[in-house]
A and B are shown apart, each in its own frame.
Chain A
Amino acid sequence: MAGEAVVERRSAGHRLAGLFHGRRRLQVGALLAGPVGWLVIGYLGSLAVLLVAGFWTVDPLSGEVVRGFSLENFETLVNEPVYRDIVGRTVLIAALVTVTDALLAFPIAFYMAKVASRRGKALLVVAVLVPLWSSYLVKVLSWRTMLSSGGIIDWVLEPLGLHGPGYGNTAVWLVMSYLWLPYMVLPIYAGLERIPNSLISASEDLGAAPLTTFRRVILPLAFPAVIAGSIFTFALTLGDYITPRLVSNNQFIGNVIFNNISNNLPLASALALVPIVVMVAYLLVARKLGAFEHI
C-alpha cells in the first residue's frame, strides 16, 4: 500500500515536471499568475469598481445607492464653485510641495551621490530614511504643536519681529514638504549615482564651467529621477487628508471624499476620480518633457 502511494505521488510530480519541461511560456505564466492576478484583481479591479460607483446616485429618500448610469455627480463637481476651489487648492499645494521638495532634495542628493565619503554617504542615507520609520501622525501632531500660537516657531521668530504662519494653507505646505522630502531625495540620489563621474570630468576637460556642466550634463541625465520623485510627492499630497485636518481649516480633495463616503458613496467616488485624472495629465506632461526616455 505505502509503496504504491509513493510511486503514485512520484509519478504525479514527474508528470507535472514533464508538463513544464521545455515550455518557457508555461513556466513564466505559472510563476507570474499569483502576483499578476493580485495586481489585476486587488488593484485594478478595485479601481474599476471605484470608477463605476462614480456614475451611481443616491436615492434622496432612502439614502440607498441606486446603481445605474448618471452624470449627476460629475455635474455637481463642475457646477458647484466650492468643488472647483477645493480641487484648485489641492493641486496648487501639491505643485508647490513638489517644487519645494525638488529644490531641497537636489543639493542633498547631489552631495550624497557625488561628494560625500563612503561613510558620510551611508550616514546620510540613514538620516533620510529614519524619519520614514516614525509614525506619520506623530510628525503631523508635532508640527501642529510647533505651529500653535506661542509655539516654538513663534518663539524663534519673535526676536525678528515676526510670527509664525499659524494654521492654514502655509502650514499644510510646510508640513507636506517636510513629510514627503525623503521620497524626493532617494530617487534623485539613485539617479545621480548612475551618472558616471567620467562624464563630468569630460565636460570639465572640454572647458565647460561648473554651471554649464550642471545645466548641460547632470540635469538632463538626472531629470527622469526628479520626475520619478515628483510623482511621489505630487500624488501623496493630492491624496492626503489628515494633515489638512490637523493644521488647517481648509478642505482638500481627500477631506471631501472622507465626509461623503458613508452617506454619498457615488459622489465620493466621482471625487476620487479627480486625482486620477490630474495624475494622468501630469504623467502625460512628464512624458512630453522626455522623463521616461531613459527608463
Chain B
Amino acid sequence: MRTQDAHPVRTAWLVVAGLLAFMLLIAGCGSSGNSSSGGEEMTKLGKGEGEVNLISWAGYVEPEWTKPFEKKTGCKVNDKVAGTSDEMVQLMRTGQYDGVSASGNASARLVDGGDVAPVNVSLVPNYKTIFSDLKNQPYNTFDGTHYGIPHGRGANLLMWNSEDVKPAPTSWDVILDPKKASKYKGKISAYDDPIYIADAAVYLKAHQPELGIENPYELNEEQFEAAVNLLEEQRPYVGEYWSEAAKQIQAFASGDSQVGTTWQYQYFELEGAGKPVAASPASQGFLPSEGATGWSDTWMISSEAKHPNCMYMWMNWIVSPQANAEVAEFFGEAPAQSLACEHTAEKDFCAKYHAENPAFWKRVYYWETPVADCGNGEENCKDYNDWVQAWTSIKG
C-alpha cells in the first residue's frame, strides 16, 4: 500500500506515457486507406432475407404502408428516424443499415464515401413511371450511374403568423432584407444548418444578379461571401435558429417566433392546433418571388447491405402508386410516382402540391452537397466543409 501511495506523480506520468505509446501505435497502424469501391450493382433479384433496416426522415416509414409491405414480401421493416442529413451520413457509415431516404445534401457524400451502391433500376419496375424531371438529377445520378430511386419532393416554406405579419409576405425579403427584417427583430426563425446559406444565395440570385449566382449550392469565393454576409446581417434579428421541428412548433405556438423558414410538417402541426399561421407554398399555392430551396429525396442502398433483396423490394414498394400516394399525403410533399395522383385520398392533392407542374419545380433548388467542383469545369467553389465553418462563424 505504501509504495502505491508514495508516487502519485510517477503513476500519472506512467499513464500519460502509456497513452502516448498507444496513440503512436494507432497512428502507425492506421495509415491504410479506407476508400471502398462502393459495391456492385445487383443484376438479379433473389428471395427476401426476412427483414430490412432503414434510415428515414420522420413520416416516411409508417405502419399504414409498411404493414402491407411486410405481409406481401415477408421483409420485416426496422426503421431508424434521423433528424438531419449529417446524422443520416453518420448512421450509414456504420454499415448496419440497408438503405436510407437521403436528401441531396447527403447523397453525394454517401456516393463519394463509397457508402452506397449503384441501383439497377430495371429491378425496380415502378421506376418507369416516376416523373421524368426527377430522374437523372445531379443528386441521384453520378457519372451516368443511378444511385437511387426518387421518393418525393417539396419546397422549403416561408411561414408566418397571419395575425402579426401583415401584409402577407410574398418574398424572402421579409426575413433577409435588414430593413424589413428589423420590423420583426427577435421574432424571426431560421433553419439551424449550414445548408441554410443556400437560402441566402437564392435570395441574392434574384436581388443581386451582378454576382452571377446560377446554382445556390455552387458558390465561388465572392458569391459565398455575399451570402454569408447577408446571414451575418440577419443574425441580430433572428429570434431563434431551429433544428428540431418540435422546438420551432413551440416557438410559433407561444409567439416567440412570428416569421421564418420551415417544413410542411411544422406548418401542418401548427395549423392542426388552430394556430394562426400561413405558409408558402403550402397554404398559399405560390413560391416566394425568388423561388425557394427544397428537397428531393432518394432511396439509396448501402454498399454493405445485408438484406439487398428486401431493400430492392422496399424501393419498389415505396414508389408504387398506392404507397407513394399515402406517404406523400402523410408527409405533405409531392409524390415522385406519376401514377400516385390517382390514389390520393384528397382528390386535388397533386394539384395543390404542383406534383404534375414542371414549371413550378424549375424555381425550386433541391438540396445538394456543396463541392469544390463548380460544374463549369472550375474547381474554385466552396465545399461543404467551408459551409460548416462559415455557419459556425455566422452563429458566433
Contact = CB atoms under 8 A, between A and B. Distances in A.
Asked if A pairs with B, the answer is yes
A262 interface: yes
Contact of B396 (A47, A49, A55, A251): A251
A253 to B, nearest CB: 11
Interface string A53-70: 001001011111001110
Nearest to A49: B26
Interface in A25-56: 44-45, 47-49, 51-52, 55
Nearest to B21: A48
Interface stretch (A144-152, A185-193, A196-204): A144-152
B392 A48 contact: no
Interface string B1-45: 000000000000001001100110011001101110000000000
B251 A260 contact: no
B78 interface: no
Interface in A132-186: 144-145, 148-151, 167
Interface string A250-292: 1100001001111110000000000000000000000000000
Interface stretch (B65-73, B125-133, B203-211, B383-391): B383-391
Nearest to A258: B86
B176 to A, nearest CB: 17
Given A63-B385, A150-B254, A261-B90, A80 B393 contact: yes
Contact of A62 (B23, B31, B112): B112
Helix, strand, loop or mixed for chain B's interface? helix
A85 interface: yes
B331 interface: no
A51 B194 CA distance: 26
**Residue from A64, A86, A256 with most neighbouring chain B CB atoms (10 Å):** A64
Q: Interface extent on B, as a size class?
A: 35 or more
Nearest to A65: B34
B250 interface: yes
Contacts of A44: 15, 18-19, 22
A64 B392 contact: no
A245 B248 CA distance: 12
A82 interface: yes
A63 B109 contact: yes
Given A48-B19, A52-B26, A256-B392, A245 B243 contact: yes
Q: Most chain-B Cβ atoms within 10 A of its Cβ — which of A47, A83, A150, A246?
A: A246
A52 B396 contact: no
Nearest to A40: B18
Contact of A149 (B255, B392, B395): B255
For B22, B86, B89, B194, the residue with the greatest tally of chain A CB atoms inside 10 Å of its CB is B22
B339 to A, nearest CB: 36
B247 interface: yes
Contacts of B23: 48, 51-52
A265 B90 CA distance: 11
Interface in B141-191: none
Interface residues of A, number: 41
Interface in B240-263: 240-241, 243-244, 247, 250-251, 254-256
Contacts of B393: 80, 82
Which of B240, B384, B385 gathers the greatest number of chain A CB atoms within 10 Å? B385
B238 interface: yes
Given A85-B396, A249-B241, A47 B19 contact: yes
A63 B254 contact: no
A82 B255 contact: no
B113 interface: yes
Contacts of B30: 52, 67
B342 interface: no
B113 A82 contact: no
A47 B35 CA distance: 25
Contact of A68 (B31, B240, B396): B31
B124 interface: no
Given A249-B241, A259-B392, A60 B15 contact: no
A262 B87 contact: yes
A190 to B, nearest CB: 22
Contacts of B244: 245-246
Contacts of B15: 44
Nearest to A68: B31
23 contacts: A44-B15, A44-B18, A44-B19, A45-B22, A52-B23, A60-B383, A62-B35, A63-B383, A63-B384, A67-B27, A67-B31, A82-B396, A144-B250, A145-B254, A148-B256, A249-B240, A249-B395, A251-B392, A251-B395, A259-B391, A262-B90, A263-B388, A264-B388
The 3 closest A-B pairs by CB, nearest first: A262-B86, A148-B254, A262-B90
Interface of B: 15, 18-19, 22-23, 26-27, 30-31, 33-35, 86-87, 89-90, 109, 112-113, 194, 238-241, 243-244, 247, 250-251, 254-256, 372, 383-385, 388-389, 391-393, 395-396
